[in-house]
């Protein structure tokens, strides 16, 4: 699936959300017991409750002699949050995740205020803000733009801010292992990336994804557009270090990116197709994202109606329950596939038959 958020506004995908789910605060137990398991507010309450518990625990550790305990507690909570599993990734209700995710994201930032060099939390924040902005802000903006352009513009502006916030978390995470790397990245991107190692690949990927997504929403910002060379240095180094990362995430990112890469030899569409083939191989055909990305990034510019519709129908034919770890991501991308299919005649001109 395409977790990549590349440079083509219609050619990006999304990785499954990974946000840690905490326990239930005592003041909300009554509400939770009174709500059925599938109640729309239940997941929202669970995460909010965990947020309250965590902050309360840290607040209590402010007295004399508590500094060490507070530091230890913060680090342990940060470790748990950063390594949180697939609570949201396996969810079958994107709207539940939409409601719950902000509390986890803010909890991450609260902990980062205490432990700013926590590399795992920086990664989780970079990943989480990028995923949230794409799935629940930018996609909504795309779907509503024809009916409410002003509202869509506001959502895109908010999404851009969150992408840049995610980028900054990613850069600080890289700096925590390679002091001054973000500064060197701005001065000489390719040279700076020589310091990156295999353990840096997740941060390289998510920093590039966030930065690239911000650029797609900043066509009037020349300074940000000029950062494309830095995004390219990040993602190319990630590809070099671990091309199979996260079941093909890097290749999925590069499907739309190759259509915008500057100065590369050969046919951009051919390069995009190569990355598509590898992404599908690495996910064993179980992710909808690469299919949607190729439809948007290649079939639309080529005005290939047959391929466009075939790719999207293939994406819709994927059973989200076949791969629980990608369930939420596939549901999000299948929603986009349906929307794109409904706009076929707007995106691809009908064939003109000869008389």
For 273-301, give the DSSP string.
HHHHHHHHHHTTT--SHHHHHHIIIIIHH
For residue 92, being part of any structural domain is answered with yes
CA distance 7 to 212: 6
Tell me what pLDDT residue 100 has: 86
Tell me what pLDDT residue 133 has: 96
Q: Give the best-scoring range by mean pLDDT among 22-36, 54-68, 331-345.
A: 331-345
* Res 275 pLDDT > 50: yes
**Structure pTM?**
0.80
Q: How confident is the model at residue 18 (pLDDT cuts 50, 70, 90)?
A: very low
pLDDT in tens, 327-343: 999 999 999 999 999 99
For residue 177, being part of any structural domain is answered with yes
For residue 126, being part of any structural domain is answered with yes
Q: How confident is the model at residue 5 (pLDDT cuts 50, 70, 90)?
A: very low
Tell me what pLDDT residue 14 has: 34
Segment 49-64 shows an average pLDDT of 51
Please check whether residue 101 is in contact with residue 107, taking contact to mean a CB–CB distance below 8 angstroms.
no
pLDDT in tens, 123-175: 999 999 999 999 999 999 999 999 999 999 999 999 999 999 999 999 999 99
Distances (CA, A) of 264 to 112, 171, 257, 276: 39, 26, 11, 18
CATH of the domain at 196: 1.25.40.920
For residue 2, being part of any structural domain is answered with no
For residue 72, being part of any structural domain is answered with yes
Positive or negative, the CA dihedral 218, 177, 105, 36 is positive
* End-to-end CA, the chain: 43
Tell me what pLDDT residue 55 has: 54
Segment 256-260 shows an average pLDDT of 94
Cα 295-301-304 angle, rounded to 5 deg = 65
Question: Which structure tokens are listed for 58?
Answer: 């840290």
For residue 159, being part of any structural domain is answered with yes
Please check whether residue 329 is in contact with residue 3, taking contact to mean a CB–CB distance below 8 angstroms.
yes
Domain that holds residue 124: 26-347
For residue 244, give the 3-state DSSP assignment: coil
Tell me what pLDDT residue 7 has: 38
How many other CB atoms sit within 10 Å of the CB of residue 300?
Answer: 21
Please check whether residue 171 is in contact with residue 210, taking contact to mean a CB–CB distance below 8 angstroms.
no
Pick the closest to residue 250 from 262, 260, 235 (CA basis): 235
CA distance 257 to 239: 13
Q: Is 246 left (phi over 0), alpha (psi -120 to 50) or beta?
A: left
Strand segments, DSSP code E, in 89-146 are: none
pLDDT in tens, 188-238: 999 999 999 999 999 999 999 999 999 999 988 999 999 999 999 999 999
Domains identified in the chain, total number = 1
Across the chain, mean pLDDT equals 82
Pick the closest to residue 47 from 107, 90, 92, 95 (CA basis): 107
Tell me what pLDDT residue 12 has: 38
For residue 4, being part of any structural domain is answered with no
For residue 102, being part of any structural domain is answered with yes
pLDDT in tens, 65-96: 555 656 666 666 666 666 654 567 887 888 88
Pick the closest to residue 49 from 84, 22, 69 (CA basis): 22
**Secondary structure (DSSP) of 207-223:** HHHHHHHHHHT-TT-HH
């Amino acid at each position: 699936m395409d977790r990549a958020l590349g440079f083509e506004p219609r050619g990006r995908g999304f990785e499954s959300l990974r946000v840690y789910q905490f326990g239930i605060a005592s003041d909300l137990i009554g509400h939770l017991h009174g709500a059925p398991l599938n109640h729309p507010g239940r997941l929202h309450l669970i995460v909010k409750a965990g947020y309250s518990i965590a902050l309360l625990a840290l607040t209590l550790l402010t007295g004399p002699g508590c500094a060490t305990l507070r530091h230890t507690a913060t680090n342990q909570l940060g470790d748990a949050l950063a390594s949180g599993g697939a609570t949201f990734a396996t969810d079958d209700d994107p709207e539940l995740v939409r409601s719950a995710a902000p509390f986890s994201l803010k909890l991450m930032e609260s902990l980062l205020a205490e432990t700013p060099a926590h590399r795992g939390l920086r990664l989780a924040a970079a990943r989480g803000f990028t995923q949230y902005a794409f799935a629940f802000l930018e996609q909504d903006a795309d779907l509503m733009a024809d009916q409410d352009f002003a509202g869509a513009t506001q959502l895109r502006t908010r999404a851009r801010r969150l992408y840049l916030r995610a980028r900054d978390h990613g850069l600080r995470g890289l700096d925590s292992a390679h002091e001054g790397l973000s500064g060197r990245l701005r001065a000489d991107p390719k040279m700076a990336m020589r310091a990156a190692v295999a353990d840096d690949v997740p941060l390289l990927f998510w920093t590039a994804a966030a930065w690239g997504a911000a650029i797609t929403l900043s066509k009037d910002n020349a300074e940000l557009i000029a950062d494309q060379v830095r995004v390219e240095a990040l993602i190319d180094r990630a590809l070099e270090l671990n091309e199979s990362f996260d079941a093909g995430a890097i290749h999925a990112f590069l499907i739309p990116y190759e259509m915008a890469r500057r100065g590369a030899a050969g046919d951009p569409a051919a390069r995009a197709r190569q990355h598509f083939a590898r992404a599908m191989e690495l996910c064993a055909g179980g992710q909808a994202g690469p299919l949607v990305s190729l439809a948007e990034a290649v079939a639309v510019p080529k005005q290939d109606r047959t391929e466009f519709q075939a790719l999207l129908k293939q994406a819709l034919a994927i059973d989200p329950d076949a791969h629980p770890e990608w369930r939420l991501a596939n549901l999000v991308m299948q929603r986009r596939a349906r929307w794109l299919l409904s706009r076929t005649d707007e995106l691809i001109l009908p064939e003109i038959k000869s008389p």
